[in-house]
């Protein structure tokens, strides 16, 4: 969970963050009891609205992120893990645990913070003037790589400057943009794409992670009912072999092109139906070994001919049931990430952070994910990519 994004999506939560960050080192900030109460309320409401079965142990991660955002706070204020061994067992304690436990008997909120259509902050960002501070931040980023929180802060500060160029260029501008901002070559450079997406759509920033389990369940239900072709059925057979979470996530992604087949796209002026294999290749690459990684990714890119620098999700392992590593490739940058779901999130968000089109062969898949899971629309959405029955099948709101 991106705690800051969730809090900023709430008017009072945003005021708390702004007020805290306005303090400097000579006047350290602290939270009041009412502010702590509000923070917990907003976070737990968000969790309950977007998840079906939330593991209490994940609250340890949330409490850690609260302290990262509000350094004067203590993790134990928000979460103390349960004592599960010995004669005197104790349940999880802390403000987050108590709030979640007390809310379980109440009706699940219908995501009050999320309207049917989440608006972008792009207009307000583009309206900001290019100040001396922004120019100084750009200069610092040309060589500065640590501390990483400072990199993120200065990256965010340069958003008006960067977005003005990105959102007035074409898809091929991405390659120039990546060279203009070499900080993106850092191994954690993908976090800068995530930061930009959170600036544009703060209310959507955490929705994939919060909704993933339900997305998988519904997608599997749809797939077992709808998929008729041999390749799709072969992927379904893998799901019946009790895959771990990583493998399940990858297999579900390979199923998406087989759902609602018959998508039409324009290739060099020729409109034709896209095969499920073409759709899959446009976003997903499975390598059995990591040897010659760069060459294989480059060859794959040439074979699918997407927009300049088009993002690509790469999994490495002997089979999809035995995944060893996951990468997100953007142009000639390859980021190793922790999981398939994290890779999918970065893959999707980098399109919007870089203002590049979805690949035409799979644009209907990402428009569905955009509208059903991330809950936002854009002025660039193509009507032919909007599969209403598929989108409505998820019913998250």
Which helix (H) or strand (E) segment is 35 a member of? helix 33-50
The total of other beta-carbon atoms located within 10 Å of residue 21's CB is: 13
Q: b/e map of 118-135 (b: 16 or more CB within 10 Å)? A: bebebeebeeeeeeeebe
User: Which residue do the tokens 């920033």 mark?
Assistant: 205
75 contact partners, CB below 8 Å, separation of at least 6 = 60, 63, 64, 66, 67
| pTM for this entry | 0.75
Which pLDDT score is estimated for 113?
A: 42
Q: How confident is the model at residue 3 (pLDDT cuts 50, 70, 90)?
A: confident
Bridge-based pairing state of the strands 333-337 and 312-316 = unpaired
The terminus-to-terminus CA distance of the chain in angstroms comes to: 19
Q: Which of 63-72, 129-138, 314-323, 388-397 has the lowest mean pLDDT?
A: 388-397
The total of other beta-carbon atoms located within 10 Å of residue 307's CB is: 17
Find how far residue 396's CA is from the centre of its chain. Answer: 16
Q: What is the pLDDT of residues 314-333, one digit of tens each?
A: 999 999 999 999 999 998 89
Which pLDDT score is estimated for 19?
A: 85
Q: Following CA atoms 159, 164, 167, 173 in sequence, which dihedral angle do they give, to the nearest 10 degrees?
A: -100
CA distances from 350 to 29, 146, 230 (A): 34, 22, 32
Q: Nearest CA to 93 among 77, 73, 106?
A: 77
Which pLDDT score is estimated for 66?
A: 93
Both structure tokens of 7: 């809090």
How many CA atoms within 13 Å lie on the side-chain side of 99? Answer: 20
- Most confident residue range from 13-27, 120-134, 377-391: 120-134
Q: Nearest CA to 20 among 79, 75, 67, 77?
A: 67
Q: What is the pLDDT of residues 228-254, one digit of tens each?
A: 999 999 999 999 999 999 999 999 999
- ∠ at Cα 379 (373, 383), nearest 5°? 75
Mean pLDDT of 63-69: 91
> Which comes out higher in pLDDT, residue 56 or 29?
29
49 contact partners, CB below 8 Å, separation of at least 6 = 108, 109, 110, 111, 112, 113, 114
Q: What is the pLDDT of residues 13-35, one digit of tens each?
A: 888 988 888 776 556 688 989 89
């Amino acid at each position: 969970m991106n705690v800051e994004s969730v809090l900023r999506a709430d008017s009072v939560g945003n005021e708390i963050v702004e007020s805290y960050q306005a303090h400097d080192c000579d006047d350290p900030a602290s939270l009041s009891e009412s502010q702590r109460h509000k923070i917990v309320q907003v976070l737990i409401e968000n969790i309950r609205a977007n998840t079906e079965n939330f593991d209490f142990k994940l609250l340890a991660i949330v409490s850690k992120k609260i302290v990262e955002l509000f350094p004067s706070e203590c993790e134990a204020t928000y979460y103390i893990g349960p004592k599960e061994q010995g004669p005197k067992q104790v349940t999880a304690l802390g403000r987050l645990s108590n709030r979640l436990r007390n809310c379980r008997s109440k009706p699940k909120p219908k995501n009050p913070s999320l309207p049917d259509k989440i608006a972008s902050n792009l207009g307000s960002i583009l309206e900001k003037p290019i100040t001396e501070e922004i120019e100084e931040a750009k200069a610092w980023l040309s060589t500065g790589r640590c501390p990483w929180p400072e990199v993120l802060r200065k990256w965010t500060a340069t958003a008006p400057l960067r977005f003005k160029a990105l959102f007035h260029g074409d898809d091929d501008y991405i390659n120039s943009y990546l060279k203009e901002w070499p900080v993106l070559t850092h191994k954690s450079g993908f976090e800068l794409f995530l930061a930009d997406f959170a600036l544009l759509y703060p209310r959507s920033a955490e929705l994939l992670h919060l909704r993933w389990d339900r997305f998988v369940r519904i997608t599997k239900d749809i797939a077992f009912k709808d998929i008729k072709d041999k390749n799709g059925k072969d992927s379904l057979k893998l799901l019946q072999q009790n895959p771990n979470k990583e493998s399940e996530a990858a297999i579900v992604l390979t199923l998406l092109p087989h759902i609602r087949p018959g998508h039409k796209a324009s290739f060099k002026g020729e409109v034709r139906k896209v095969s499920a294999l073409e759709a899959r290749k446009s976003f997903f690459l499975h390598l059995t070994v990591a040897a010659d990684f760069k060459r294989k990714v480059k060859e794959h890119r040439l074979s699918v001919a997407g927009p300049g620098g088009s993002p690509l999700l790469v999994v490495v392992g002997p089979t999809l049931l035995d995944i060893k590593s996951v990468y997100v490739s953007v142009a000639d940058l390859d980021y190793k990430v922790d999981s398939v779901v994290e890779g999918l999130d970065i893959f999707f968000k980098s399109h919007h952070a870089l203002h590049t089109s979805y690949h035409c062969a799979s644009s209907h898949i990402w428009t569905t994910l955009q509208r059903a899971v991330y809950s936002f629309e854009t002025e660039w959405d193509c009507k032919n990519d909007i599969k209403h029955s598929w989108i409505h099948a998820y019913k998250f709101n």
